A and B are shown apart, each in its own frame.
Chain A
């Protein structure tokens, strides 16, 4: 029996435990988190105390060292509550600490990774600048080699956790003329009285996922020591970035799954209870079709995403699969949150009901891990063997 789509009893139990934690800690606060638009420190501490921030890290540093499928189950359950919270947490668990765990020396791991796993230090990753988003070759943040270290100069924007971050993995170029070949990752800490580093710039006010705080990081001739260079060789930053993308894409897809499911479960209840023309609206074929379409796309997305997780776990090359699955699940999610806006009728348009929140929250899925235009352009090219 080579093909087995079942989760093990243990994985189901793990899912149940995460679901339960989300139900108890996050669900009761979802509306408040969205409205306040502040980072929820109390919730963060409570959540960090459960240990999930160390899910994918080595036990030596306080992590759990779980496998990819377990991590994906976690991401799927986490985003069900607050997307914003999930965004901050996944930044900490995955992108914000990945390169530190991979390339940091023992000193850095003790100083940064250990407290990050405990939730005591907040991390982030910085690619985006005003002139470069999809196109990393446009990166202007400059890293200049000096005695004993590097000087970093530049502004990063759209940085998740930016206003509260203690440390950041920053992509910078040694020479803009080198394009992609000049890019590297550097660990930069927040500037203090006795340490050089980044300062926070402008904070952004977002459409959705609002309790994760987002903003600019500014580095003005910030000195960092040599050990903060994250990599084995100079000029390999883009390759390293590519190596985390499979996980990031499947994780993003998992978020899409759970947002879509949550929105649709809510709408199902609404449709079964809302009476128009003498019947619950779920009796009308045009409404039923929305649920049927969602259901079909959702199941396909979910199966594909877990296949990708399984491929990552088993070291099977899957870069195209992860792109396809991320694209599919996110578009599925866009469909779901849009249709829920319609199922709710006019009520969808006010903050008393959840559809508008799902709709706003879900939009962030479109950008991370490659915009869909960029993904499709690439995938189409590959498919046509151009």
Chain B
């Protein structure tokens, strides 16, 4: 079974993020692998353990390859970094284009593609579905259950819907985006961690993909960031100096009229 997993390194929720300019963020150098992507990797590994084959992790990133290394540490066979200066400023669609182009180039056809349900930084949830659209294969988002019938090339997936579950099936090849509950991503063994530390990451640039610089990057972006705004600062504490019971009356009044929370 030929399995690909789309992965991304995202800022740690604890990283300090500052608005540098209207269209640029300054992010503290603290990253981790998007947790939904770990679930996707685990899904791939489980299938490989059952049916054999190969799991390849794939990222579009000019700098960070730790998501790929984590993939290898978890047990993936291969890691590919799509990187090119012209990819800077790409939107999700351009990222998907690079990924789909790469997947189309493969002489050995893929059976399954997994991605996280969304990246925990931009929360867009677009790359997975866009790749499937570009490849013209079926996809189901946010799955929490998966059953593959390899000989029949059929898949049954589960996803949570309001008040219940939805069971869907489709043929292979297909793409699924993974949600918490699908599995429990394994903690890498140190032996694989060491392997991942030394692993050579294969790099693929736009030329290798046969893409032009104009098709990706900031200029081609269909979505443009207009402006980043920092969250409002914590307002100063207001001390109510009156005595009881006036202070309670004032507090209730302020909660109702100023804070508008009661």
Please report A residues at the B interface, Cβ cutoff 8 Å: 10-11, 13-14, 16-17, 20-21, 24-25, 49-52, 54-55, 64, 66, 275, 278-279
Contacts and interface: CB of A to CB of B under 8 A. Distances in A.
B196 interface: yes
B152 to A, nearest CB: 35
Contact of A16 (B66, B187, B189, B237): B66
B66 A13 contact: yes
B89 interface: no
B61 to A, nearest CB: 13
Interface in B6-24: none
Contact of B194 (A16, A24, A66): A66
Interface string B204-241: 00000000000000000000000000000000110100
B106 interface: no
A14 B237 contact: no
A294 B69 CA distance: 34
B70 A17 contact: yes
A52 B237 CA distance: 48
A11 B196 CA distance: 11
Q: Is the interface of A mostly helix, strand, loop or mixed?
A: helix
A275 B237 CA distance: 9
Contact of B187 (A10, A25, A66, A279): A25
B182 to A, nearest CB: 17
A21 B187 contact: yes
B187 A20 contact: yes
Contact of A10 (B32, B197, B239): B197
Contacts of A54: 190
A14 B193 CA distance: 7
A279 B189 contact: no
Contact of A17 (B73, B198, B237, B239): B73
Contacts of A278: 236-237, 239
7 A-B pairs with the lowest CB-CB distances in the bound complex, closest first: A10-B197, A51-B190, A17-B193, A51-B189, A21-B187, A52-B190, A50-B189
B194 A50 contact: no
B188 interface: yes
A261 to B, nearest CB: 13
B32 A16 contact: yes
B191 interface: yes
A16 B9 CA distance: 12
Interface in B94-130: none
A17 B185 CA distance: 13
B241 to A, nearest CB: 11
A299 to B, nearest CB: 17
Contacts of A13: 66, 69, 193, 196-197
A50 B187 contact: yes
Interface-centre pick from B69, B193, B197 (highest chain A CB count, 10 A): B193
